[in-house]
Structure formats: C-alpha cells, structure tokens
Structure 1
Amino acid sequence: MTPLWVVVPAYNEERGITATLTALAAQTDPDFTLVVVDNASTDATADVVRACAAAHPHLRVELVREPEKGTGAAADTGMRHAIARGAVWLARTDADCLPAPDWIARVKAAFDSGLRLVAGRLLPREDEGLPAGTRRLLIAAVTIASLFGRFRAGNRDPRYHGPYVMTAGCNMAITAELYALAGGFPRSKIEDLHEDRALVNAVRLHTDRYGSRRDVLVHGSSRRAKAWGLRRTLAWYADHRYRPPVVDIR
C-alpha cells in the first residue's frame, strides 16, 4: 500500500466523475491509492467508478459506500477508511474537480517541506461554459474572502497556533495523525456546515505547521455559479446566507 491516499466523495456524479478520475489517472506521480465514497447515490455513480477503474488498471481504486448523505460524512468515511488501511498522508478532491497533472507530486512536496496540512489553490474550470469575465470575478472574490477570513470572529481564538488559512475541501491534504488528532471532518451535511472550515480551525488548535501552496492546483466546478449567479453563490459560501431550494446542482 502507498503512503498517500486520495479521497473523493461522490453523490449522483455519474455524468461528471469520469473527468475527475481521468485526471487522477493521468498524474505524473501515480504512487497513490484512490478511495471513492459513494454517498448514497441514486444514479449509476458506482458503476461509472468501476468502469473507470477497469479502463485505468494502473490506478489503485477502492470504492466504499456511505449511506449517511453529507459531504462531511462521506469525506470522513473515506479518510478513516484510508487510515485503517495504513495511510500516512491523506488528500481530498471532489467528484466535479480536475486536479492538475502534478497535483499528487506537489502534495507530496508540501508534506516533505514539513507541513501537516496543505491548503491548495482552487481555480474555476474552463470547460463548463462560464464566461471568462465571471471566472475572473470569482477568483477575485475568493481571494478577498480568504483575506477576510483571517479577521472574522469565528476564525479568531487565542488558543489557535496560527492565522486562519482558507482550505477548500476539494483541494486539501493532511497527515493521517493530524486528521485523527483534530477529530476529522464533522459528519455533516453540506446544507448545515462547511466541513472544511471546521477542520482547519480544529487543526489550528494543535499546530502551526499548515499553509497554502499555490502550486497545489485543482480546477473546481462552477456549476453553482452558473445556476445561482455569482452573488448568490458567494452568499452561499459565506455562512449559507443564501439558501437555495436545491443544493446538489447536477
């Protein structure tokens, strides 16, 4: 077994997960094991994952099922499955994301530099029809939100060992021992809690060996921005100030 395991939670992603798995199969460093967590999907997500695994036999894939629907629950199940199988390092991306070809190599380099939690860079995908101007506005908004996050009351506590660092769940990595020490992702639903923010704040109670790495790059889906518009999407990510009737945009 490899020391690095990648966890991909997936809910009803039969139409999109092939692109994510293909990007992982094309990594310049193929030395990792992939865990896809089928999060109570009602479509053919699991069948698509099996087909992709068969099409890329060099890609070590394990498929597990989590019946409790929720991004936090699914991600935590995948992380703990990997730890039980001997993982030393854990990375996560999502089933609508495209990791850069050197993503695995860059994650390992970040760990080798001494980090125990790695917050990667997230850019909008360019293959979903989102106008270039809107993509640029989205990037700028995320940058501003990251800076604002350092000052918001919910991210400030005298017990923290270092400043807040925005850590997108779809592009992050953490050592297995720190994940366990921090308590892992809360087993929550996406409608209730941003599990990535909760995890990074739990990590900050234990160490200052975490940080952003711009070279750890993932292109994320903009389907919420297309469906809701930029303003409402930003409000959703800012403590769910916008609550849409349908969260799972497909």
Structure 2
Amino acid sequence: MTRPAVSVCIPAYQAERYLAQTLRSVLAQTFEDFEVVVLDNACTDATPEILRRFDDPRLRVLRNESVLPLAENWNRVVAESAAPLVKLVCADDLLHPRCLEHQHSVLSRDPGLALVCSRRTMVNEEAQPLSRNRGLRGLLGRHASRDVIRRVVRHGGNPLGEPAAALFRRDQFDAVGGFDRRWVFPMDLVLWIRLLEHGDFYGLRESLAAFRITRQSLSAAEDGSGYLEQRTLSDELATAPNWDVRRRDRLVGVAKAPGARLRRQALFVLARAQAGRAGEERNG
C-alpha cells in the first residue's frame, strides 16, 4: 500500500453530535493524498455507528478497549498514523476544503520548517461563525522559532491556535515525545513550542480551520486552572536560556494575559447565549 503524504488524526470520545460533520469536512479536501485515522476512545454513544456509515478507503477506524486520558489518547492516534506529515483534528472541529492543499504545499517544500499554522474561525455549536480569521497576529509568513517563542510570551495566551489549524512532521513529533500529559489547557501550545526546537514556523493568512465552542469547552473556559497553567508556561519560556526571551517580552505578556483571557471568555459567553437561544427555538 502506498504511503500517504498526510495523516489526519481524529481522537473521538462521545463524539456523536459533531463527528459526522467533522469527517465530511476532512474527506472533502481538494488535496487527495491523505489518510484519516479515527480513534474511538471506548465511546458508549452512537460514535461507532456513525463511523460505520462512512465508506471511504482513506478512512481507518481504531478503538480503545478502555478510555484513555486525553494526552495518551491523542498520542496513540498519532502513533497509528502512516504519513510523514500529521494534522490532529478534534472530533467537533472543521477544516476548510483547501486546508491540506495549502499547508502541505508549504511544509513539504521546506525542510527547515517544523510547523505551519493557519488562521482559524471560532464557531458555535451550530457551526455558525463567532469570530473569523483569528490568530497569528505578527506571525504571518516565515519566522525563526526564537522570534515565535517571544511572540508567545508577549501574547499571554496561544497565538498559534488549536490542533486543527496546524500541520507538523511525524518524526519531530516522535522526537519530542508527543503531547505532554503534565499539561491540560495549553497541551497543544506546549507541543508547538517543543516542535519549534527542530525548525522554523510558517503562518498562513487564510482561515483554514474552525474551532467549535461547545458546552464542554464553555465549562473549561470558566476554570481558572487554565489561566494559571498558561502563566506557568510563559514563566518557563521566559527563563529558558535557549529561547533568549527578553525581560520586556515577559512584562508585556504579564500585562496582556488578563486581556487575552477576557477576549476568549467573551467568545464563549456569546456561544453560550446562542446555544441557549437555539435550544429555546428547538423546544418552543
């Protein structure tokens, strides 16, 4: 069997509501040389039935015998992939039809790049846009990894985006040990930082992925532990000698962190209000 150029990895847990829409967005890519690996994390809802409805030779479905924690589950689905380039897509997020086309074109042609990300759109439970073209301010085009880390510290949050907006190399993922289970809220950002130890960054102007704000993510947004984790990560980066972060970068990040958190929470509050109205309309 010919090795695909890209693996799209989808970890699925109790994903019945959105999984079909996510899969359709992945399978509709204009770029054709890819596989889709879905890992059913011992789901007890309709996830297995939904997966059986998809008859596509690019799709491989695996299942855990018992529920794995988040990082272990994400690492396992990547470990099952066959391609040199990998994208992880959460089971409620979406891809633009040309996402793989654009990102593969950049990463496959430049061995000095470790990570390519695009802007993304934040959507509500009904996939309606809440905010378009988010992320990558000051990070469009090619940037040295050290400059990107300084931007991360100055941002006070995650300026690079969620997994669906990123494409990375499988060998470098293995080299850094994959997703680090010691982190929860910034687990994806921690991986991006570790990958950037192996090469530079490229930011695409187009919004090529959509991050869905669901009731589960609403709960996470209200948990202050995520904010504390983000500050801990920024402090570690600021004191790491290999990144040469300036004192000014650190001070700017401390000042901006509350604002970054409030902006994200505002989107989640808007999503909550829209979800409530949609529920009232369905029940009314």
The whole-number CA distance in structure 1 between the counterparts of 2:18 and 2:209 is 15
| Preserved contact between residue 106 and residue 215 of structure 1 (Cα < 8 Å) | no
- What is the CA deviation profile of residues 226-250 of structure 1, one whole-angstrom value per residue up to 9, with x for unaligned ones? 9559x738x67534699xxxxxx99
Aligned counterpart for 2:212 among listed residues 196, 221, 224: 221
| Preserved contact between residue 185 and residue 226 of structure 2 (Cα < 8 Å) | no
- The structure with the greater share of residues assigned to helix is 2
| Preserved contact between residue 125 and residue 222 of structure 1 (Cα < 8 Å) | yes
Alignment TM-score, normalising by the size of structure 1: 0.72
Give the aligned partner of residue 13 of structure 2: 11
Cα–Cα, structure 1 residues 33 and 24, in superposed 2: closer, same or farther, change >3 Å? same
Q: What is the SS of the residue equivalent to 1:43?
A: coil
Deviation at 1:111, TM superposition (A): 0.9
The sequence identity of aligned pairs, in percent, is 22
Deviation at 1:18, TM superposition (A): 0.5
User: Which is higher, the Rg of structure 1 or of structure 2?
Assistant: 2
Number of residue pairs the alignment of both structures matches: 218
Deviation at 1:117, TM superposition (A): 1.4
| Preserved contact between residue 114 and residue 196 of structure 2 (Cα < 8 Å) | no
Deviation at 1:123, TM superposition (A): 0.8
1:124 aligns with 2:122: yes
Q: How does 1:59-208 map to 2 (within 5 A)?
A: 59-66=57-64, 67-82=66-81, 86-114=82-110, 115-125=113-123, 128=126, 135-136=130-131, 150-151=152-153, 166-187=160-181, 192-207=184-199
Segments of structure 1 that go 5 or more residues without pairing to the other structure are 156-163, 243-248
Give the aligned partner of residue 25 of structure 1: 27
| Preserved contact between residue 119 and residue 168 of structure 1 (Cα < 8 Å) | no
Give the aligned partner of residue 44 of structure 1: 46
Cα–Cα, structure 1 residues 210 and 34, in superposed 2: closer, same or farther, change >3 Å? same
Cα–Cα, structure 1 residues 70 and 210, in superposed 2: closer, same or farther, change >3 Å? farther
Cα–Cα, structure 1 residues 154 and 199, in superposed 2: closer, same or farther, change >3 Å? farther
Q: In structure 1, give the amino acid aligned to 2:190.
A: A
Segments of structure 2 that go 5 or more residues without pairing to the other structure are 140-147, 231-260, 262-271, 276-284
Deviation at 1:93, TM superposition (A): 1.3
Give the aligned partner of residue 256 of structure 2: none
Aligned counterpart for 1:238 among listed residues 227, 244, 260: 227
The whole-number CA distance in structure 1 between the counterparts of 2:60 and 2:70 is 18
